[in-house]
Structure formats: structure tokens, C-alpha cells
A and B are shown apart, each in its own frame.
Chain A
């Protein structure tokens, strides 16, 4: 199997026991280093604290959320009551459906068209290529906020106000994806493509059956990152969405950011926040490698 990763591949690690022994020997020579390790653990705990508070508070009673001093473990354990209340309070199921729909379409379209364009830029030489590439690249440098007003007016004049089309289509492509796929497509050996051409395969078939499968690792990294961006996207949905039918999770749960009621439902707010973060957490746990790779690539190349 050809592994196509332009970034440094991790060299095979020695056995765990060996690493532990090495670490222990190192520590005995420089005992002060344990302080730095403890500091790293402490810092990680501090940063993880708010999300731990969120999850644990979603099992508390409303008034217990603000208990002083804080209850690290719920004392008046509510089970799933707060989650049930969340679904009664707002049409959360609808919001989830819409968010999954938007993220799903974003992921599929971005991955396929980025792979297509990235392959086109990497392996072909056509007139206007430089201009096209610079144009696509320039979109990375313009923040979305600059497009907000004119894009809204454009969607408005297209009659896409408050529709799935208006919500999803303007964000469906991503220049960073094109750039990333182009880097990975370079690594595909030309001989492989030429051999397929000799066998009479069409260019479209070469893309689907040879190029796209070889880009699967890059596609996975791109997919999880696009899912995260799309799932958490807020500004554009806030502008476009008017009716509950197409409301996504981040827009739908804003009722909990500035509650007008005299008695805010703190525990329900925490349950809703936990639910809204759950898909991302699950993805992160299972596809951490791709997340990290995607983050680093989006960072370095974005």
C-alpha cells in the first residue's frame, strides 16, 4: 500500500515498557523534570475543567448548578431529567436533524470537489491554471465577515431567504480543502495514472477508481474538520435562519445564552450544551488522529 502523507510520518515507537524504563532513568538523572510534567497535567486539568463542569452540571438540579462552593459531583442527581426537559423546551430533534443535514452535505461536497480540483491543479497543465489557482487561493485570505452583507443581499435577491439552499450552499466549498488535496495529489505517482490511461481508462474513471481512493486519508482529515466547522458554524446560519424548520443547533440554543426568564434553567442549559457538543466529542474520540492532522494542515496551509 502506498501511504500518501506529505507530512512527516511518525517513526515506529519502541515498546511501552522500554519507553517507561527510559523515562524513569531520565527522571532519576533530572528529578526536577517531574515538576514540569506535573505542571503539564495541572494545565490540562484547568483547561478541561469548564467542559467537565458542563457535563457534570447537566445531571444537577437547577439551583445546584450555581452552588457555592461548587459541587464537583452532583449531589441531587437528576438522571436524564434535564435532557428530557431540553427536548420538551425546544425542538431539539429538529435542530439536530438540520445540523446533521448541513454538516453532511458540507462534508460530502467539500471532500469530493476539493479532491477533484486538487487533483486537477496537481496533475494537469491547462491554460489559465495559474490564474485559477491564485483565484481559489485568494479566497482563503478574505474573512467570511467581509462577505456577510453582500452575500445576504445576494441570497435575498435569489429568493433563498430562510431556505436550506440559502443556509447550506454558500458555505459548501472550501479553498483550504482544495489546497490540502492538491498537496496530497502531488504524491500520487504519474506512472500509476499513465498505466491506467494505457489500459484505456477514461479520465473520470481514473479519478474515481485510482486517485480518490488514494486520497482517502486526506479525505478523512478534511471530512472531520469540515464537519466540526459546519456543526459549529454560527454567523451565517444566524443571518439566514428565520423559521424553526431550518434552525441548526448553535442558532437554536442561543435562547440559553441570554435567558429573559426570571429563573434561568441552568441545568437544562448545561444538558443542551452537552448534547450539542456530543457529536464532536464522539468524532474526536474515534478519529483523533485525523482531527489533529486536519487541524495542523488547516492551520499550516489555511
Chain B
């Protein structure tokens, strides 16, 4: 790179000027080398060591990964994470699209209504956890509102092993649906209304025109919402940490891989194991990312 700089220095003034581009970009690039590239590489290396912060790391090769395959808690966290990913991504995808269609209608007070709908996106997940912990008390608001349908007097939303993961999904849906609604809405707004009008003139009804004309045009948005919501769900941590009994309980039904990284790394100081779980999680997310890029080839990022 430096020899390139020198050769540029000898060039014309227009060429010399281009060096400024490199200078403007350099702080960001250097930052990411120090706080992104270096930790990524060292994380890969840590996963091959037996590191506890207390003594220097010892090289153990793939031992950590082999141990993970026999680790009951890790295997549990795999299934918990997959359940959470499916349980959040699918309903969020459908419901946020339906919400976008609702708020795509024009009616007086639409902006205000949309703002109200959007409020769950704003508070931090810790605030969300504090509020929902109260709403999900056995005799709390959620029990009261669902009583006409369930007939149950008291519901232990958070401490029943069968119900607790579903409660996490409910809370996640509440905070994320308005966000993805916005993404769908931006996609819908980008479709020229002439296309829909043409379909309507040709005798299609509203549902047909949506399914045949608009949905295919929304393909990049559809892929994006599915990919980003699942990638975020793979990383689930804060909600489970803050609200599930005993941080991941009861009986580990809420111990996601994200939570396991924290437990191994920062409760037990088994940094090698934590790094190995991180690498596995990264690999899983990478599959989704590659899948997404394949489905939306060239639409997301262009170099020029």
C-alpha cells in the first residue's frame, strides 16, 4: 500500500489528489483492524485453547469442539436457539407484513396511529424485561386479558418450563414486529401505484393484485426481513438473561447459545469453551447470510 502511495505521489495532480480518499478512509479501516479483525482472528485461536484468564492459554486443538458435542448444556442450547429462531422469525415475518398492509391504508390519524404502534421498538430490552415481568405475573395483565379464552385463574408465564419459551417469543414479537412493519412499509411505498391500478383495471381484486403484483416486487424486502430477524434471533441474549428465572431457566429451556457464551465466558471464565460456542454460532449465522445474499443477488450491495 505504501509503495502504491509513493507511485501516486509521482503522478499527476489529479492522481495525487486521490490519496486524500485513502486518508479519509484510513481511520475507519484502522479502527476495524484493531477492534474487528484482530478479535475475530484471536477468537478463532482462543477456541483452540484452554483459556481461563487466570493462567496462560494452552493449545488443545479441536478438543473444545469435541467436548461441545458431548456437552448436554450446549446441545440443549442448540435446540433452544433453533426453537427461538423459528418461533420468532415465522410469526414476525407474517404479522409484520399484515401490519404493514393495515398501515398502508390511508385514513385520518394514520401517522399518529403508526407512531403508537411503533413505540415498542424504542425502549431498551432491559426496560422491556422489567415491564413484561410485571405484565407476566401469575395474576398480571396478560393473564387477565387472556382469561376469557383460557379460563385460567393464574398463569406462571415465566416459570412454567413449557410456557416460558413461548413467553419469550411473545415479548420478542411485541418489540420487533413494529420495526419490520416499517421495513415492509418502505418496500410497499416504493412500488409505483400505477402497477396496482393496472392490475385492478384488469379485473383483479385487491388480494389478487397484492399476491400477483406487489408481493413478487417485495421479494428483496421479504428476503431481508426473514434474514435479519433470524440472524437477530440467533443472537438472543438480553431478554433471556434478564427475565427468565435463574438466567436461562427454568431447567435451561431459555438457555440460548448467546446466553451460553456469556455463562461459559463470564460466569465460569471458560474462555476457550465460550469462544468455541461463538464460532459455532457464527457458522450458523453465516449460513443464513450466504443464503440471503444468494437470494437477493446484487440487489443489496453494489460496489459502484
Q: Which of B25, B53, B129 is packed against the most chain A CB atoms within 10 Å?
A: B25
Task: List residues of B (15-36) whose CB comes within 8 Å of A's CBs.
Answer: 17-25, 27-29, 31-32, 35-36
A41-49, A77-85, A213-221 - interface stretch: A41-49
Q: Are A117 and B28 in contact (CB under 8 A)?
A: yes
Q: Which residue of A lies closest to B186 (CB)?
A: A296
CB B122 to nearest CB in A, in angstroms, measures 5
* Residues of chain A contacted by B115 (CB below 8 angstroms): 288
Q: A150-B40, A254-B242, A257-B243 are in contact. Are A53 and B135 (CB under 8 A)?
A: yes
Cβ of B217 under 8 Å from chain A: no
Cβ of A139 under 8 Å from chain B: yes
Q: How far is the CA of A69 from the CA of B38 in the complex (A)?
A: 55
Task: List residues of A (134-180) whose CB comes within 8 Å of B's CBs.
Answer: 135-137, 139, 141-154, 156, 169-170, 172-173, 175, 178
Q: Which residue of B lies closest to A172 (CB)?
A: B31
Q: A136-B32, A277-B122 are in contact. Are A116 and B108 (CB under 8 A)?
A: no
Q: Are B22 and A277 in contact (CB under 8 A)?
A: no
Cβ of B271 under 8 Å from chain A: yes
Q: Are B25 and A235 in contact (CB under 8 A)?
A: no
Q: Are B182 and A299 in contact (CB under 8 A)?
A: yes
Q: How far is the CA of A100 from the CA of B114 in the complex (A)?
A: 28
Q: How far is the CA of A49 from the CA of B94 in the complex (A)?
A: 21
Q: Are B17 and A203 in contact (CB under 8 A)?
A: yes
Q: Are A232 and B271 in contact (CB under 8 A)?
A: no
Q: Are B18 and A302 in contact (CB under 8 A)?
A: no
Q: A152-B265, A296-B182 are in contact. Are A113 and B28 (CB under 8 A)?
A: yes
Cβ of A269 under 8 Å from chain B: yes
Cβ of A196 under 8 Å from chain B: no
Task: List residues of A (18-77) whose CB comes within 8 Å of B's CBs.
Answer: 19-20, 23, 33, 36-37, 39-41, 43-45, 47-48, 50-51, 53-54, 57, 65-66, 68-70
Q: Which of B20, B120, B235 is packed against the most chain A CB atoms within 10 Å?
A: B20
* Residues of chain B contacted by A269 (CB below 8 angstroms): 130, 134
Q: Are A228 and B281 in contact (CB under 8 A)?
A: no
Cβ of B93 under 8 Å from chain A: no
Cβ of B189 under 8 Å from chain A: yes
Cβ of A94 under 8 Å from chain B: no
Q: Are B114 and A139 in contact (CB under 8 A)?
A: no
Q: How far is the CA of A295 from the CA of B102 in the complex (A)?
A: 20
Cβ of B137 under 8 Å from chain A: yes
Contact of A292 among B32, B182, B282, B286 (CB under 8 A): B182
Q: How far is the CA of A19 from the CA of B28 in the complex (A)?
A: 48
Cβ of A128 under 8 Å from chain B: yes
CB A55 to nearest CB in B, in angstroms, measures 10
* Residues of chain A contacted by B190 (CB below 8 angstroms): 8
Q: Which residue of B lies closest to A127 (CB)?
A: B4
Contact of A147 among B24, B25, B40, B137 (CB under 8 A): B40
Q: Are B40 and A66 in contact (CB under 8 A)?
A: no
Q: Are A54 and B113 in contact (CB under 8 A)?
A: no
Cβ of A253 under 8 Å from chain B: yes
Contact of B266 among A133, A178, A239, A280 (CB under 8 A): A239
- Total A residues in contact with B, Cβ cutoff 8 Å: 103
Q: Are A156 and B53 in contact (CB under 8 A)?
A: yes
CB B193 to nearest CB in A, in angstroms, measures 11
* Residues of chain A contacted by B183 (CB below 8 angstroms): 295-296, 299-300
Q: Are A50 and B235 in contact (CB under 8 A)?
A: no
Cβ of A121 under 8 Å from chain B: yes
Q: Are B20 and A120 in contact (CB under 8 A)?
A: yes
CB A267 to nearest CB in B, in angstroms, measures 10
Q: Which residue of B lies closest to A24 (CB)?
A: B108
Q: A47-B119, A53-B135 are in contact. Are A173 and B107 (CB under 8 A)?
A: no
Task: List residues of A (179-206) whose CB comes within 8 Å of B's CBs.
Answer: 197, 203
Q: Are B129 and A232 in contact (CB under 8 A)?
A: no
Cβ of A286 under 8 Å from chain B: no
Task: List residues of B (246-304) whose CB comes within 8 Å of A's CBs.
Answer: 258, 261-262, 265-266, 271, 274-275, 278-279, 281-282, 285-286, 289, 300-301, 303
Cβ of A223 under 8 Å from chain B: no
Q: How far is the CA of A196 from the CA of B79 in the complex (A)?
A: 60
* Residues of chain A contacted by B51 (CB below 8 angstroms): 153
CB B259 to nearest CB in A, in angstroms, measures 10
Q: Are A50 and B285 in contact (CB under 8 A)?
A: no
Q: Mark B205-242, 1 if CB is under 8 A from A, else 0.
A: 00000000000000000001000100100110110011
Q: A37-B105, A44-B117, A270-B134 are in contact. Are A123 and B21 (CB under 8 A)?
A: yes
Q: Are B120 and A47 in contact (CB under 8 A)?
A: yes
Q: How far is the CA of A169 from the CA of B31 in the complex (A)?
A: 10
Cβ of B123 under 8 Å from chain A: yes
Task: List residues of B (153-195) whose CB comes within 8 Å of A's CBs.
Answer: 174, 177-179, 182-183, 186, 189-190
Could you give 9 example pairs across A and B, Cβ below 8 Å? Answer: A44-B114, A44-B116, A113-B31, A124-B17, A135-B37, A143-B231, A148-B265, A172-B31, A300-B186
Besides the contacts A47-B120, A51-B120, what 8 more A-B pairs have beta carbons closer than 8 Å?
A20-B108, A50-B174, A66-B140, A116-B28, A135-B32, A232-B124, A269-B134, A302-B228
